């Protein structure tokens, strides 16, 4: 059984309860098992985090920060091992996993700048003999609940910023990819964290609900699907907690007739089919502005035909599997729904698949209409839908019908088109000639609409603000 991490040690789950297997999704081999409902150990972890807080918040900020310099070094030394772990339990290619670990390390670099970022403000002589000072103080125990699609990067969006700001932290990783998270917390402990500052409890909904209802938890960071993000936001807010809940997505990419075709096709293929479409920034719908549609569809199909499917750990693999058999079935149901609704299936990803593993190949639909399910719902698989529009304005109007607003991209050589897009598209992270417009860690991961519930986003200044409260002191000294 896969362990928890409490007081700087691996802890075996209590026997019994609900058990869930962890697969290698490329081979269907069971790698380990997770107990979903070990609430006894959740209680232990929360008590430990609460107990560690007074000592941790009193630890000088420079000492806290130096732990993250050491952590950065340890992550660098273990980067290959971490990437292999991500690839094994998630299925993405080793190269993709290596980049993921690097994106997570950026947040550690951001955390290492905490002494500058957490500095307060002072204004003297606001009245005769009166000065006003603003300081940022930690909240207490913060909790993080993470999805399966970035087993390394998303825990790293949360833990370093919460902890460097003087909070203690309880992480609940995805029960489908729990293994990498354990190595991340072990390495942070090795970098010098005192007992209880960071605990990890594995599990499912039962553990999430335990975190959301516990009075000791002051702040909740969540990343996952939209319905669960909404549920976590409402439940935690009702309990008086601070919440940032990042949800699902349906990302629109608009291709102008003047776009550079070669680089646009590469960007779209990487975005739509990379990680088998299991990215919250994946291109899901392409709107081809007339007359580029026909040639674009032809080129996308050609590239889709070339992609090599396989186990992420093999160097020849360009696209891995989906995470689970049930998820694969869900994606296949979307493909069937697209066909039934009359979309033109240009490339059928259900053919010529590896014998084992939860694979779906690159799938391409053309002539998709805005009211079809495949144009509206998050599929989270390698299914790309092409729509046509007569103008940029019409394309933006189509994209803005989405209830999601995570990211959107435009491919063009025109500054005017880029400017129009930037000003009118309703999404929080925009790419111009970029397939995956993931902001570097010094900026917020700023989804809009139903892709995000809350006020302060993950990472960037927002990330640190989320884990601190402002205290304003007005003083008169005569
Ligand atoms: P998920 O919602 O199934 O699970 C996320 C977490 O919530 C897991 O830790 C899981 O144990 C927990 N959980 C699941 N069901 C729950 C329930 N009913 N009650 C309480 N907790 C529950 O998401 P996933 O499938 O692991 O991840 C994929 C989703 O995450 C996609 O929708 C993707 O778009 C989204 N995502 C969003 C972002 C973003 O930045 N907006 C980033 C990555 C992934």
263 and 344 assigned to the same domain: yes
What pLDDT, in 10s, does the model give residues 254-309? 999 999 999 999 999 999 999 999 999 999 999 999 999 999 999 999 999 999 99
Task: Looking at the CA of residue 227, tell me the nearest atom of ligand 1.
Answer: 2
Inside any domain, residue 31: yes
Whether residue 361 is found in the same domain as residue 464:
no
Predicted confidence band at 478 (pLDDT cuts at 50, 70, 90)?
Answer: confident
Catalytic residues, by residue number, are 280
Q: What is the DSSP letter of 12?
A: P
Take residue 117 and report the two structure tokens written for it.
């970022």
pLDDT at res. 80: 98
The CA distances from residue 9 to 45, 75, 78, in Å, are 11, 19, 19
**What six digits make up the tokens of 89?**
């339990």
Atom number of ligand 1 nearest to Cα 172: 9
Mean pLDDT of 37-61: 98
Residue whose Cα lies nearest atom 36 of ligand 1: it is 224
Quote the pLDDT of residue 179: 98
Tokens of 410: 């435009």
Burial group, residue 423, by CB count within 10 angstroms (0-12, 13-18, 19+): exposed
Residue of minimum CA distance from atom 40 in ligand 1:
246
339 and 383: one domain? yes
Give how many domains the chain has, as a whole number: 2
Q: Which atom of ligand 1 is nearest to the CA of 176?
A: 26
Q: Is residue 443 part of a domain?
A: no
Hey, whose CA ends up nearest to atom 8 of ligand 1? 174
Measure 146 CA to ligand 1 centroid, in angstroms: 7
What CATH number is attached to the domain comprising 215? Answer: 3.40.605.10
Q: Which two tokens stand for residue 384?
A: 């790309």
- Ligand 1 mean position, distance from CA 470 (Å): 30
- Using CA atoms, how far apart are residues 19 and 468, in angstroms rounded to an integer? 36
Q: How many CB atoms lie within 10 A of CB 87?
A: 27
Q: Which residues line ligand 1 (CB under 6 A)?
A: 145-150, 172, 174-175, 204-205, 208, 223-225, 228, 231, 246-249, 280, 378, 380, 406, 445, 447, 451
Mean pLDDT (the chain) is 98
For the full predicted model, state whether its pTM sits above 0.85. Answer: yes
Same domain, 162 and 233: yes
| Confidence band for 11, pLDDT divided at 50, 70 and 90 | very high
Q: What range does the domain containing 295 cover?
A: 251-432
Q: What CATH number did the domain enclosing 293 receive?
A: 3.40.309.10
Cα-to-centroid distance, 54 and ligand 1 (Å): 32
Q: Is 442 a member of any domain?
A: no
Query: From residue 240, how far is each of 8, 43, 215, 218 by CA, in Å?
Result: 29, 20, 9, 8
Nearest C-alpha to atom 38 of ligand 1 is from which residue?
280
- State both tokens at 69: 């310099």
Residues 227, 247, 220: CA angle, nearest 5 degrees: 95
Polymer length of the chain: 478
294: CA distance to ligand 1 center in Å? 36
Q: What's 440's DSSP letter?
A: P
Q: Please tell me the distance between residue 379's alpha carbon and the centre of ligand 1 in angstroms.
A: 13
Tokens of 211: 């975190």
């Amino acid at each position: 059984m896969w362990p928890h991490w409490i007081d700087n040690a691996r802890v075996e789950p209590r026997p019994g309860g609900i058990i869930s297997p962890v697969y290698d999704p490329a081979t269907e081999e069971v790698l380990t098992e997770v107990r979903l409902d070990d609430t006894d150990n959740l209680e232990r972890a929360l008590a430990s985090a609460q107990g560690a807080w007074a000592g941790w918040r009193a630890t000088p900020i420079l000492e806290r920060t130096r732990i993250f310099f050491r952590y950065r070094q340890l992550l660098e030394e273990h980067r290959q091992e971490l990437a292999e772990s991500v690839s094994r339990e998630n299925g993405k290619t080793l190269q993709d996993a290596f980049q993921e670990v690097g994106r997570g390390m950026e947040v550690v670099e951001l955390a290492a700048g905490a002494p500058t970022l957490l500095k307060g403000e002072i204004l003297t002589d606001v009245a005769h003999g009166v000065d006003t000072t603003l300081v940022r103080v930690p909240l207490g125990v913060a909790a993080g609940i993470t999805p399966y699609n970035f087993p390394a990067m998303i825990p790293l969006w949360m833990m370093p910023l919460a902890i460097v700001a003087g909070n203690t932290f309880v992480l609940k990783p995805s029960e489908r990819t729990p293994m990498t998270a354990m190595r991340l917390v072990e390495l942070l402990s090795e970098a010098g964290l005192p007992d209880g500052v960071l605990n990890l409890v594995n599990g499912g909904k039962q553990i999430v609900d335990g975190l959301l209802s516990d009075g000791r938890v002051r702040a909740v960071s969540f990343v996952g699907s939209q319905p669960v993000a909404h549920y976590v936001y409402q439940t935690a807010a009702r309990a008086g907690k601070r919440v940032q809940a990042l949800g699902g997505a349906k990302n629109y990419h608009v291709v102008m007739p003047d776009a550079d075709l070669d680089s646009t096709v590469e960007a779209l293929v990487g975005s739509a089919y990379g990680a088998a479409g299991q990215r919250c920034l994946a291109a899901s719908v392409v709107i081809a502005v007339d007359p580029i549609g026909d040639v674009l569809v032809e080129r996308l199909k050609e590239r889709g035909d070339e992609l090599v499917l396989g186990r992420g750990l093999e160097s020849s693999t360009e696209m891995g599997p989906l995470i689970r058999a049930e998820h694969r079935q869900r994606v296949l149901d979307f493909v069937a729904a697209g066909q039934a609704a009359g979309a033109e299936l240009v490339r059928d990803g259900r053919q010529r698949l590896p014998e084992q593993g939860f694979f779906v190949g690159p799938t391409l639909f053309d002539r998709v209409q805005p009211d079809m399910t495949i144009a509206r719902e998050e599929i989270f698989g390698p299914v790309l839908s092409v729509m046509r529009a007569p103008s940029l304005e019409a394309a933006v109007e189509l994209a803005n019908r989405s209830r999601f607003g995570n990211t959107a991209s435009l491919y063009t050589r025109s500054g005017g088109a880029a400017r129009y897009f930037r000003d009118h598209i309703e999404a929080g992270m925009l790419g111009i000639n970029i397939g995956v417009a993931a902001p570097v860690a010094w900026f917020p991961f700023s989804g809009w609409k139903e892709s995000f519930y809350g006020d302060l986003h993950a990472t960037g200044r927002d990330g640190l603000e989320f884990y601190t409260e402002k205290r304003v002191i007005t003083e008169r000294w005569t």
